[in-house]
């Protein structure tokens, strides 16, 4: 999958450029440099972590398929591939739904929702830890007999489809919106409005939402982000914030049952208070709508952009040659790139001086050069 993402990356950026131009022609500013670089950095980081975690899910799937499949569906039959995409999307619906209603899964998925903007760069904003538990929801496909290669392609199709629906530049699409996940339907999913919260989970098909009672039509302006805003451009913090919060809350819990509840109840859950009132989802707080947009220090913008471009090139090199690299080189390259991406976020928040940031990027560039020279010829 890594090489497929590398090949798709130019298309991703071409469409981002097209969306940007459409916004300019319409007189709408839909991109901010800091938010966009943060989303793209998280996307790159998710692909780097995927080099180590994705095999976990595929490996477990293949193992279950080999010993427990009730049948072996023929990979040479076209209908098996079509059915696999449909069944995969149904599994994805339930994984996605639980990722919004179970705090442990939300701790990974929250990364995708942290941006207060909604554009094609948001689609690339992905978690680095979702693969740790997400594989559980796809085991029914292994039991049903879908070969691992069919499963992997269905997963890639489902992922790539969802890219184009992260935009405000496409309006409602009539009959299409009633069957498929679309920009209008997915805007609702990303919105934190009280009416929209936790709806429209389908990846390709929205019929699952209609069938299971989680569909809401878009009929008021959407407000994006999370109810507990990140307020940071640090991609490492973005991935760890909710996990750390849950850990702190569970440590202070009054009982083991309460400690587990923090991890498995819905995000934001609190135990019954002194007033005896059970927890309910609070209404949207106006503070959640305040844009996080700290001023950039002079000269920071080109430095942050340049650092990200270097990290992007390095990640493409690493993903393309991952199968050729010994594990120590792969791990070293991954850590170097993550450090570089962290540096980009630090520049955006003025946590590094321009000199320190430039030094960090030179170190990362040097490490990438050493990695490139050591590649098998």
User: How much is the pLDDT for 150?
Assistant: 97
Q: Give tens-digit pLDDT for 236-273.
A: 999 999 999 999 999 999 899 999 999 999 999 988 76
* pLDDT per position as a tens digit, 161-174: 999 999 999 999 99
Q: Is residue 222 within 8 Å of 190, Cβ to Cβ?
A: yes
pLDDT band at 39 (very low <50, low <70, confident <90, very high): very high
User: Does the pLDDT at position 357 exceed 90?
Assistant: no
Residue 333 has pLDDT above 90, yes or no: no
Neighbours of 71 (CB within 10 A): 9
Residue 250: its pLDDT value, please? Answer: 95
**Predicted confidence (pLDDT) per residue in 103-128, tens digit:** 999 999 999 999 999 999 999 999 99
Q: What is the pLDDT of residue 81?
A: 98
- Rounded Cα distance between 270 and 266, Å, is 9
Give the separation between CA 44 and CA 14, rounded to whole angstroms.
Answer: 17
Q: How confident is the model at residue 56 (pLDDT cuts 50, 70, 90)?
A: confident
Taking all residues of the chain, what is their mean pLDDT, rounded to a whole number? 91
| Mean pLDDT (whole number) for 125-151 | 96
Q: Return the higher-pLDDT residue of 99 and 353.
A: 99
Residue bearing the bigger pLDDT, 330 or 274: 330
pLDDT at 152 over 80: yes
Confidence of residue 297 (pLDDT cuts 50, 70, 90): confident
377 pLDDT exceeds 70? no
- pLDDT mean over 25-46: 95
- What is the band of 25 on the pLDDT scale with cuts at 50, 70, 90? very high
Taken as a whole, the chain contains a residue count of: 377
Q: What is the Cα–Cα distance from 53 to 107, expressed in whole angstroms?
A: 16
What is the pLDDT, as a whole number, of residue 351? 77
Residue 132: partners with Cβ closer than 8 Å, 6 or more residues away: 53, 56, 108
* Token pair for 54: 């994705």
Would the pTM count as exceeding 0.85?
Answer: yes
pLDDT score for 360: 72
* Average pLDDT rounded to a whole number, residues 274-298: 78
Cβ–Cβ < 8 Å for 238, 40: no
User: Any residues with CB less than 8 A from the CB of 288 and at least 6 apart, and which?
Assistant: 192, 223, 225, 226, 227, 228, 229
Question: Where exactly are the structural domains of the chain?
Answer: 2-212, 300-373
């Amino acid at each position: 999958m890594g090489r497929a993402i590398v090949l798709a990356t130019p298309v991703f950026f071409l469409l981002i450029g097209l969306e940007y131009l459409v916004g300019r022609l319409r007189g709408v500013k839909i991109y901010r440099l800091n938010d966009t670089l943060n989303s793209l950095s998280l996307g790159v980081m998710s692909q780097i972590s995927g080099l180590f975690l994705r095999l976990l899910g595929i490996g477990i799937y293949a193992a279950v398929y080999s010993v427990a499949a009730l049948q072996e569906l023929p990979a040479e039959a076209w209908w098996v591939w079509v059915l696999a995409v449909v069944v995969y999307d149904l599994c994805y619906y339930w994984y996605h739904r639980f990722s919004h209603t179970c705090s442990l899964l939300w701790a990974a998925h929250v990364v995708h929702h942290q941006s207060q903007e909604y554009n094609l760069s948001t689609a690339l904003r992905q978690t680095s830890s979702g693969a740790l538990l997400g594989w559980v929801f796809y085991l029914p496909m292994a039991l049903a007999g879908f070969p691992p290669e069919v499963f992997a392609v269905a997963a890639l199709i489902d992922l790539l489809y969802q890219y184009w629906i992260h935009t405000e530049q496409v309006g409602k699409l009539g009959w299409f919106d009633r069957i498929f996940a679309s920009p209008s339907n997915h805007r609702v999913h990303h919105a934190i409005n009280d009416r929209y919260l936790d709806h429209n989970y389908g990846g390709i098909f929205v019929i699952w939402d209609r069938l299971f009672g989680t569909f809401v039509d878009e009929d008021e302006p959407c407000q994006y982000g999370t109810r507990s805003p990140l307020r940071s451009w640090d991609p490492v913090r973005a991935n760890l914030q909710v996990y750390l919060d849950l850990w702190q809350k569970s440590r202070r819990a009054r009982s083991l049952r309460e400690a587990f509840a923090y991890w498995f109840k819905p995000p934001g859950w609190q135990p019954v208070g002194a007033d005896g009132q059970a927890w309910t989802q609070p209404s949207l707080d106006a503070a959640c709508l305040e844009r996080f947009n700290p001023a950039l220090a002079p000269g920071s913008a080109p430095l942050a952009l340049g650092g990200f471009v270097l990290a992007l090139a390095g990640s493409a090199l690493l993903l393309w040659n991952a199968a050729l690299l010994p594990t120590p080189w792969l791990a070293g390259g991954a850590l170097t790139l993550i450090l570089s991406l962290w540096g980009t976020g630090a520049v955006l928040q003025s946590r590094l001086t321009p000199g320190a940031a430039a030094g960090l990027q030179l170190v990362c560039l040097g490490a990438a050069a050493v990695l490139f020279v050591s590649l098998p010829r």
